[in-house]
């Protein structure tokens, strides 16, 4: 159980020396996920010693270059590394065509199953689910079709309360599975031992919401309500608020407002415009709305 989020790149627009475009590696409840994939992401994955091969799901928010120009290179590298396990790519309609065209031109078909899940709904939609996690889209408002993603752990099994189980000789190891799943224990004489007496409640499932790129959009608040970790873009400070309408980006203050409205536990800012050399100003501005604000930086790890 738990979330470990590694920021790979967190700046807007072009990759520059020491300023990489958006990419994040998320470990959530034993699932390994890549979120967005700007140019150079595969090098950043290597720098952060991320176990490449374990990534089975890639979620792409939108088809601006700073969020997906590194994808075809990463897929090609998976091929060169002789990957065999399947890879699922979720992203806007068009992503399949552009990746497969490049693989075709380079005659580099992958030996592993490469499965595209193209998105085109404007409603929040459950797009992936297994026994460990679920992933739901967060429709955003940007210059091209864009989704954020809500990653949620599934409620875990109950934990065995060994100090209560110990004195009951009839309970054997093979019964633990049923206990963890919430079943009561029936003794030979018909006595019922209630599950709550033998187990402890599971850990709270953790959640992470990734919201980039978007203009200020309070519609998303019900979707991300109460998440443990919210990444919200803050391309500008309020001094450039006039640019947010045309570019469909947010200010740090607006990100803080969303965090406050959604009552999240922690806000992470990122997608800084290259106009700003000192990113601490983003933190200060967002803190006028919401206290617990952290700055995304390449290599920084957030653990819940």
Choice from 22, 24, 42, 251 touching a copy of itself (CB under 8 A): 42
Residue 238 engages a copy of itself in binding (rule: CB under 8 A) = no
Tokens, residue 71: 């994808």
Stretch that binds a copy of itself, among 29-37, 103-111, 158-166, 221-229 (CB under 8 A): 103-111
Q: Which of residues 59-78 bind a copy of itself (CB under 8 A)?
A: 63-65, 69-70, 72-73, 76-77
Rounded to a whole number of angstroms, the minimum distance from the CB of residue 92 to a copy of itself is 8
Q: Give the end-to-end CA distance of the chain in Å, rounded to a whole number.
A: 9
Catalytic residue among 36, 66, 130, 175: 66
Choice from 80, 162, 173, 174 touching a copy of itself (CB under 8 A): 80
Tell me whether residue 119 or residue 259 sits nearer to a copy of itself (CB atom).
Answer: 119
Q: Is 66 a catalytic residue?
A: yes
The number of angstroms, rounded, from the C-alpha of 246 to the middle of its chain's C-alpha atoms is 27
Stretch that binds a copy of itself, among 96-104, 109-117, 130-138, 147-155 (CB under 8 A): 96-104
Tokens, residue 282: 């983003």
Choice from 82, 107, 166, 172 touching a copy of itself (CB under 8 A): 107
Q: Which residues pair with 207 in a beta bridge?
A: 152
| Alpha carbons 225 and 221: distance in angstroms, whole number | 6
| Alpha carbons 159 and 176: distance in angstroms, whole number | 9
| Alpha carbons 16 and 279: distance in angstroms, whole number | 16
Residue 276 engages a copy of itself in binding (rule: CB under 8 A) = no
- SS (HEC) of the chain: CCEEEEEEECECCCCECCECECEEEEEECCEEEEEEECCCHHHHHHHCCCCHHHCCEEECCCCCHHHHCCHHHHHHHHHHCCCCCCEEEEEECCHHHHHHHHHHHCCCCCCCCEEEEEECCCCCCEEEECCCEEEEEEECCCCCCCEEEEEEECCCCCEECHHHHCCCCCCCHHHHHHHHCCCCEECCCCCEECHHHHEECCCCCCEEEEECCCCCCHHHHHHHCCCCEEEEECCECHHHCHHHHHHCCCEHHHHHHHHHHCCCCEEEEECECCCCCCCHHHHHHHCCCCCCEEECCCCCEEEC
Residue 43 engages a copy of itself in binding (rule: CB under 8 A) = yes
Residue 17 engages a copy of itself in binding (rule: CB under 8 A) = yes
Rounded to a whole number of angstroms, the minimum distance from the CB of residue 66 to a copy of itself is 8
Residue 15 engages a copy of itself in binding (rule: CB under 8 A) = yes
Contact 61, 212 (CB under 8 A): yes
Residue 271 engages a copy of itself in binding (rule: CB under 8 A) = no
Contact flags string 175-214 toward a copy of itself, x per CB under 8 A: ----------------------------------------
How many residues bind to a copy of itself according to rule CB under 8 A? 34
Tell me whether residue 40 or residue 148 sits nearer to a copy of itself (CB atom).
Answer: 40
Stretch that binds a copy of itself, among 42-50, 166-174, 192-200, 293-301 (CB under 8 A): 42-50
Residue 111 engages a copy of itself in binding (rule: CB under 8 A) = no
Residue 120 engages a copy of itself in binding (rule: CB under 8 A) = no
Residue 256 engages a copy of itself in binding (rule: CB under 8 A) = no
Q: Which residues bind a copy of itself (CB under 8 A)?
A: 13-17, 39-40, 42-43, 46-47, 63-65, 69-70, 72-73, 76-77, 80, 92, 94-95, 97-98, 101-102, 105-108, 143-144
Active-site residue set: 66
């Amino acid at each position: 159980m738990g979330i470990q989020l590694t920021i790979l790149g967190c700046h807007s627009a072009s990759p520059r020396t020491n300023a990489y475009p958006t990419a994040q590696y998320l470990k959530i409840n034993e699932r390994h996920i890549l979120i967005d994939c700007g140019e150079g992401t595969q090098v950043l994955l290597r720098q952060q010693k991320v176990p490449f091969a374990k990534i089975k799901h890639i979620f792409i928010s939108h088809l601006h270059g700073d969020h997906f120009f590194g994808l075809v290179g990463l897929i090609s590298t998976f091929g060169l590394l002789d990957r065999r396990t399947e890879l699922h790519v979720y992203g806007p309609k068009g992503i399949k065509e552009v990746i497969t065209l490049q693989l075709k031109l380079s005659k580099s078909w992958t030996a592993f199953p490469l499965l595209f899940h193209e998105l085109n709904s404007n409603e929040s939609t459950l797009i992936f689910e297994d026994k460990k996690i679920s992933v739901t889209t967060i429709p955003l408002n940007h210059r091209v079709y864009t989704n954020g993603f809500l990653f949620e752990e599934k409620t875990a099994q109950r934990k065995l309360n060994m100090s209560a189980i110990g004195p009951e000789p009839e309970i054997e190891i093979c019964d633990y599975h049923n206990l963890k799943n919430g079943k009561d224990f029936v003794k030979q004489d018909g006595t019922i031992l209630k599950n709550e007496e033998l187990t402890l409640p599971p850990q709270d499932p953790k959640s992470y919401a990734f919201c980039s790129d978007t203009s200020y959009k309070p519609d998303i608040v019900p979707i991300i309500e109460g998440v443990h970790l919210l990444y919200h873009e803050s391309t500008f400070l309020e001094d450039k608020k006039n640019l947010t309408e045309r570019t469909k980006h947010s200010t740090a203050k607006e990100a803080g407002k969303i965090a406050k409205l959604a009552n999240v536990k922690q806000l992470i800012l990122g997608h800084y415009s290259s106009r700003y050399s000192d990113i601490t100003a983003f933190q200060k501005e967002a803190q006028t709305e919401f206290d617990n604000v952290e700055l995304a930086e390449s290599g920084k790890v957030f653990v819940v």
